[in-house]
A and B are shown apart, each in its own frame.
Chain A
Amino acid sequence: MTFLRFLGGAAGLVVRGNRLYYAWCALLLVLVFVGAGAYATQLRDGLVVTKMRDSVTWAFYIGNFTFLVGVAAAAVMLVIPAYLYDWGPIKEIVILGELLAISACIMCLIFVTVDMGRPDRFWHLMPIVGKLNFPGALLSWDVVVLNAYLLLNLTIVTYMVYSAFMGREPNHHFTWPLVIFSIPFAISIHTVTAFIYNGMVARPYWNASILAPKFLASAFCSGPAVLLIVLQILRKMTRLKIQDAAIWKIAELMAYAMGINLFFTGAEIFKDFYSHAHHAIHTQYFYFGIGAHRAIVPYAWMSLFFGVVAFLLFMIPATRKNVVTLNAGCILIYASCYIEKGIGLLIPGMTPDGLGEIYEYTPSTTEVLVAAGTFSLGFLIYTILLKVVVPVMLGEFRVTDLGDKAVVGTGPEAPPAGLARAGH
């Protein structure tokens, strides 16, 4: 029953906020509705409203899915230093990474669903009632690990937050194995996603063993890029204390990940262009185009350029610690990885297709709107989660507050003087 009261209190927190909070939520909600409308069109007319065709059968939706799996996996960048190395500054914020993982996992599941031709047959994917082709098909692995990772993070976060809410010390015998377990899961969600592509002999662009390592490298810079910006916003908007050291440490780790990612990219580019075998045509399409087909070439160079600049910004301690260059670097890294996964992975992989045909894919308006709606829903979920968890972290939302008066009404942005605080 207390848990229901916790949820009630949480709902109270979510519906209250300052103007900026309302505006932000309203914006997201509008986008969610626009996306839902676009998806309704897709449900009515079929996937013909996308620009995917037989030649390019996976594109923007699955690209976004892939990118977001990386974001979800990136929580491990905080979990490892926090729990395995017990590093204080990150330990204080690790839960924010786990919340991001939860939101990203939900977005991933939505992106997979909107890409399905028959979403009404989703139950065929369920073990026992349906027929999950496990372990043969990698997509079924992905279904399993993604859901398990989502569940794992939900459990950990709910338990920790609820314990804090109750003012109890969490039972380490329960949480410790879960946290430890979540580390290989984080790595395997992205590895398995990479293996979906990697295992396809039909697509030489993907059928390279560097794919999974590269996925991890890019995930470990793109996920934290989102997080760094969120941390700074939270620091400004709430009384949450986030140490500079934590932010700088994350940025430093991102620099290493980006360095490795760029190195892998270089290795791929070298292999393809030096050997100049037939299979190099996909890489050629991405970076130089084939004949008049050059629609995605600018993105390729943007991704590379952004990646290099961000790497330098994060590698040099002075620019890493400067707020402006730090945030510029985060945006560049995010953009670089988003292009790399959202556009640079799927489209060149399928262009030219298995019989050499070139169909130049660019997403349709419906696809862009559905994707925008999905991202908005994800951000909305993340916002709502933060809205509840941050006050718990600050000790502003506790079971003791849920007395007769249930003092949960004020958002952390505008704390009224005299709000009961458990912290010091």
Chain B
Amino acid sequence: MHGTASIPRLNPPLTNNVRLILLTVLISAGVLVALRVPLLLPHPPEHRLPPAKATSLPPVPGDFAVPPPPFSPEIFPCSQCHNEDQPTNKKRRKLKMEHKDIVLQHDQEHRWCLDCHDSDNRDQLRSASGEPIKFEESFRLCGQCHGDKLRDWRIGIHGKRTGEWNGKKEYLLCVHCHNPHSPKFKPVAPMPPPVRPEQIR
């Protein structure tokens, strides 16, 4: 029995050459289709940033808002206590009466309170050269040693800024983040880690 014979055969006569040509055409078509993929993919040109002008002057104090310095409560003005009634003892020593909580961990071998706090007017600070510096501009004091940080801070690289990326910004003073007497960051507890994929059900 030839049961399979009833499916009509598709039988155009083919010479070997025709087969070869057909195969070549098909394979080329396949390759072409495949090749077109990368050609058709959108390839935006690399983005070129506009040339920057020579570094312009960084913002100067007054150009931006700075929150008031983070004084301990009710401690300022310092002249509440440090007044005519209390003559200044300029001798470097360990404090025994007030400010005992302050542990200086900021180049303590070389410095002490009155290297930064103005001995004549305790409501302000002083630079190494004796120039008075307001607490609101304490960054100038810090910048004497940390000039690179001051520069970075002014242009917004160092430190935190809040507000508008295209408008009003608020800077934080160095002392908002760094305790001036012990500037190294203190470790904090991290917030909770993500849920592992295995635990999502």
Residues of A at the B interface (CB closer than 8 Å) are: 48, 53-56, 83-86, 91-93, 95, 135-136, 138, 141, 160-161, 163-164, 168-170, 172, 175-176, 179-180, 183-184, 187-188, 191, 195, 199, 212, 239-242, 359-360, 392-395, 421-424
Contact = CB atoms under 8 A, between A and B. Distances in A.
Interface string B144-178: 00000000000000000000000000000000000
Interface string B26-43: 110110011011001110
Interface in B135-150: none
A240 B27 CA distance: 34
B10 A175 contact: yes
Contacts of A55: 197
A48 B11 contact: no
B201 A184 contact: no
B10 A136 contact: no
B197 A359 contact: yes
Most chain-A Cβ atoms within 10 A of its Cβ — which of B4, B26, B37, B40? Answer: B4
Contacts of B11: 86, 172
A222 to B, nearest CB: 20
B198 interface: yes
A7 B18 CA distance: 38
Given A83-B10, A359-B197, 15 more contacts: A56-B197, A84-B23, A86-B11, A91-B9, A160-B10, A163-B8, A164-B7, A170-B10, A184-B29, A187-B30, A240-B4, A394-B3, A395-B5, A423-B4, A424-B5
Contacts, number: 102
Per CB-CB distance, the 5 closest pairs between chain A and chain B, nearest first, are: A53-B197, A395-B6, A135-B40, A394-B3, A92-B4
A395 B5 CA distance: 8
B1 A48 contact: no
B22 A180 contact: yes
Contacts of B201: 48
27 contacts: A84-B23, A92-B4, A135-B36, A135-B40, A135-B41, A136-B42, A160-B7, A161-B7, A164-B7, A164-B8, A168-B8, A180-B26, A184-B26, A184-B30, A188-B30, A191-B30, A199-B37, A212-B34, A239-B3, A240-B3, A242-B4, A360-B198, A394-B4, A394-B6, A395-B6, A422-B6, A423-B4
A421 B1 CA distance: 10
Contact of B1 (A183, A191, A199, A423): A423
Given A48-B200, A188-B30, A423-B1, A84 B8 contact: no
A155 B42 CA distance: 35
Contacts of A188: 30, 33-34
A394 B30 CA distance: 36
B40 A136 contact: yes
A423 B12 contact: no
B2 interface: yes
Given A84-B14, A183-B26, A241-B1, A393 B198 contact: no
A180 B27 CA distance: 11
Interface residues of B, number: 32
Given A180-B26, A184-B29, A239 B1 contact: yes
B99 interface: no
Contacts of A195: 34, 37
A394 B6 CA distance: 6
A423 B8 contact: no
A423 B10 contact: no
Residue from the set A141, A163, A168, A179 with the largest chain B CB neighbour count within 10 Å: A141
A135 B35 CA distance: 12
A179 B9 CA distance: 12
Contacts of A54: 197
Contacts of B12: 172, 176
B42 to A, nearest CB: 6
Given A86-B14, A136-B42, A241 B30 contact: no
Contacts of B9: 91
B19 interface: yes
Contacts of A48: 200-201
Contacts of B36: 135
A168 B42 CA distance: 50
A34 to B, nearest CB: 22
A179 B27 CA distance: 15
Interface in B170-201: 196-198, 200-201
B37 A393 contact: no
A423 B3 contact: yes
Nearest to A89: B4
A183 B30 CA distance: 10
B121 to A, nearest CB: 55
B64 to A, nearest CB: 37
